[in-house]
Amino acid sequence: MASVGRRDVPEPPDFGILKRLARDQLIYLLEQLPGKKDLFIEADLMSPLDRIANVSILKQHEVDKLYKVESRPALSTSDQFCFLVRPRIRTMRYIADIVNADKMSGRSRKYKIIFSPQKFYACEMVLEEEGVFGDVTCDEWSFYLLPLDEDIISMELPEFFRNYFLEGDHRWTNSVARALQLLNSLYGPFSKAYGIGRCAKMSYELWRDLEEESDGDSQGRKPEIGNVFLMDRDTDYVTALCSQVVYEGLVDDTFRIKCGSVDFGPDVTSSDKSIKVLLNAQDKVFSQIRNEHFSSVFSFLSQKSRNLQAQYDRRRGMDIKQMKNFVSQELKGLKQEHRLLSLHIGACESIMKKKTKQDFQELMKAEHSLLEGFDIRESTNFIEEHIDRQVSPVESLRLMCLLSITENGLNPKDYRSLKTQYLQSYGPEHLLTFHNLKRIGLLTEQSAGETLTAVESKVSRLVTDRAAGKITDAFNSLARKSNFRAISKKLGLIPRVDGEYDLKMPRDMAYVFSGAYIPLSCKIIEQVLERRGWMGLEEVVRLLNGNEFSVSDSTVEDNPFWESQRIILTVFLGGCTFSEIAALRFLGKERGLKFIFLTTAITNSARMMEAMMETKA
């Protein structure tokens, strides 16, 4: 897929059908329990459910009262309880407690558990142990894919990252395979598949197994998506650890975008109320600034404000007929745009205040030094000072991880010193966090890392079959080397620019990090698509610990003139950042490609660190 210069970017397929399928299946499952029922919903399913079926739809299908799982219901008069949950052990115990309490009091009800996206055997075992398996009926709501925007689909599985990469738990790979099967059946067949990473390879193989078992009704059809690229998050931790500076990324870092929407508080709304705003391409203001570097956003918004005022001012010279047309056709749209403009200006001001308080410029300077490999001692001093001032436990941890992964581990003296200072500043309860970070390869000691990698490579040579995956995973995750410096040099991730980098007219994907660094994940995708495979990238693959693949489906017609050949489904296993999305959107415009993003969840540095800080549920 060689560079084609600026070309029109193909339109993305319509993903509305995914929502309709999910809604119809949920309604069908609710109707399997006829009559009035109380519905208990797991907390992290509430936002996705709201995007699929709101309260009025649930009420139409005889849902009486809604409860959040974990909160104890008041004395309910309902004869039927329905639980919409994730397949989690603790949730099974919560349900078992309710059923057993009813049994003790002699209360007779019907109980239905709807697992989303799928049911796990371990859950049934817990229900059996608790003595309630025979009292409940179980079903699956195959809700794998939530379209957040015209080019972003999320599986809304934030736990995927910790479960797979830290705990070596492969249970969600089957969900990924099923999601790919659904997309392939609706928008495929995909003619080419590329990928890198152990999880990517496993998910791809499971998906192909599912395709072989099914009838494959997509064969012979003209596809809407031609290519798929799967990538593990641990292929590129550096990008996820960097501070985001594109507008959408900054909004996520500052306010936390949840399921495609954000809660703007009183500091943004300039009132005593918070407002929930859906952030997508339908927002005319947001769609124009979401991918922009933050330094360009204020000037755009002030210009937009002047243009909007000019449109309002047109009313002054209008006669009655023109005024009538203006009110009926334009006024509502202008008012909506004005409201959104005010909110995004408020958000920018709030971000500026917070970043000024955090010495953002100093932080950026330290980050850029780490990425470039300069002034490492100075950056280490900055991190020590950050810890001593107790700025933020999450931020301090992020900077330590960025130092470790860019330097291929810390020397033992620095590791012990930073760890001691951190535990003194933020508390000894973070001891387990350091264990988790070391195990996943985010914060390691150089000597330990080298020893373990040698052991891991010996095991890899001894055992190569699929069953060995878990053994090698265990060694691999203990302290895999990042090789960031060597990879960065090979792929030219640090741009060499004479003078200032023009952020208003960016020349490459590095603009998403102020011209300091091209995201590794995006560079890999660019190179593989350009070469139509991994040829010529052998050294990079070796440094990335392998598990790459490139497969063409011989049964699918590969017509280079089809629009679908310029549409790439990019699958991020373990989370994707808004910086990566912005970078690939930029690449798409440059090359006449359209990237569709499928991610297990939207992530950022804070979410990654928090996943390592949690104790196991």
What pLDDT was estimated at residue 332? Answer: 56
> Using CA atoms, how far apart are residues 247 and 367, in angstroms rounded to an integer?
19
What SS3 class is residue 137?
A: strand
pLDDT score of 322: 57
- Of 447, 472, 506, the residue at which a domain comes to its end is 447
CA pair distance 275, 262, nearest whole angstrom: 8
pLDDT digits (tens, 9 = 90+) for 123-171: 999 999 999 999 999 999 999 999 999 999 999 999 999 999 999 999 9
What is the distance of C-alpha 325 from the center of its chain? 44
The answer to whether the beta carbons of residues 52 and 22 sit under 8 Å apart is yes
The rounded distance, in Å, linking the Cα atoms of 588 and 512 is 14
Q: What is the mean pLDDT of residues 392-417?
A: 95
| pLDDT at position 328 | 60
CATH number reported for the structural domain that contains residue 330 in this entry = 3.90.830.10
In a domain, 485, yes or no: no
Q: Is residue 460 one of the residues assigned to a domain?
A: no
Domain boundary among 307, 325, 355: 355
Answer yes or no: do 138 and 36 share one domain. Answer: yes
494-537: pLDDT as tens digits: 998 777 888 888 989 999 999 999 999 999 999 999 999 999 99
| 395 is a domain residue | yes
Instruction: Check if the beta carbon of residue 15 is closer than 8 Å to that of residue 150.
Output: yes
Indicate whether 7 belongs to any domain. Answer: no
pTM: 0.89
Is residue 340 located within the same domain as residue 379?
Answer: no
How does residue 4 score in pLDDT terms, banded at 50, 70 and 90? very low
Whole-number Å distance between alpha carbons of 582 and 290: 8
Is 45 part of any domain? Answer: yes
What average pLDDT does the chain have?
87
Is residue 135 domain-shared with residue 38, that is, in the same domain? yes
* Structural domains in the chain (count): 4
Tokens of residue 72, six digits: 């104890």
Residues 101 and 27 in one domain: yes
The percentage of the chain sitting over the pLDDT mark of 90, rounded to a whole number, equals 68
Q: Are residues 49 and 135 in the same domain?
A: yes
Whether pLDDT at 450 is above 90 = no
Beta carbons of 178 and 142 less than 8 angstroms apart = yes
Same domain assignment for residues 273 and 363:
no
Beta-carbon contacts of 80 under 8 Å, excluding residues fewer than 6 positions away, are 33, 35, 36, 37, 38, 109, 110, 111, 112
**108 & 194 share domain:** no
Stronger pLDDT, 473 or 55, i.e. the higher one: 55
Question: What's residue 590's pLDDT?
Answer: 93
Residues 391 and 335 both lie in one domain: no
Of the residues 293, 321, 355, the one at which a domain ends? 355
Is the pLDDT at 553 greater than 90? The verdict is: no
- Structural domain for 275, as ranges: 247-355
Residue-wise pLDDT tens digits, 344-397: 999 999 999 888 776 888 899 999 999 999 889 999 999 999 999 998 999 999
259 and 180 in one domain? Answer: no
The Cα 334–Cα 344 span in angstroms is 15
Beta carbons within 8 Å of 464's beta carbon, 6+ residues apart: none
Contact 396, 383 (CB under 8 A): yes
CB atoms near residue 12 (< 10 Å): 19
67 token code pair: 């409860």
Q: Is the pLDDT of residue 458 over 60?
A: no
Token pair 């203001």 in the structure block, residue:
285
- Is the pLDDT at 587 greater than 80, yes or no? yes
Strand partners, 136: 111
- Dihedral angle, C-alpha 417, 421, 422, 426, nearest 10 °: 160
Span 280-327, pLDDT tens digits? 999 989 999 999 999 999 888 888 878 776 665 566 666 666 555 655
pLDDT (0 to 100) of residue 379: 92
Of the listed ranges 310-319, 393-402, 456-465, 603-612, the one predicted with least confidence: 456-465
Return d(Cα 348, Cα 264) in angstroms, integer: 11
Tokens of 314: 């047109």
pLDDT 10s digits, 208-228: 999 988 766 656 678 899 999
Q: For the domain that residue 180 is a member of, what is the CATH number? A: 3.40.50.1910
Residue 528 forms part of a structural domain: yes
Residues 46, 113, single domain; the answer is yes
3-state percent helix, strand, coil for the chain, nearest multiple of 5 = 55, 15, 30
Residue 548, strand partner residues: 196
Tell me, yes or no, whether 469 lies in a domain.
no
Question: Is residue 32 located within the same domain as residue 135?
Answer: yes
Kindly list the distances between the CA atom of residue 213 and the CA atoms of 176, 181, 222, 555, 557, in Å, as whole numbers in the listed order.
Answer: 16, 11, 22, 16, 21
Mean pLDDT of 55-71: 88
Identify whether the C-beta of residue 105 lies closer than 8 Å to the C-beta of residue 136: no
> What pLDDT does 511 receive?
96
Whether residue 608 is contained in a domain is answered as: no
Task: Please state, in angstroms and rounded to a whole number, the distance separating the CA atoms of residues 551 and 570.
Answer: 15
Do 290 and 320 fall into the same domain? yes
The CATH number for 418's domain is: 1.25.40.850
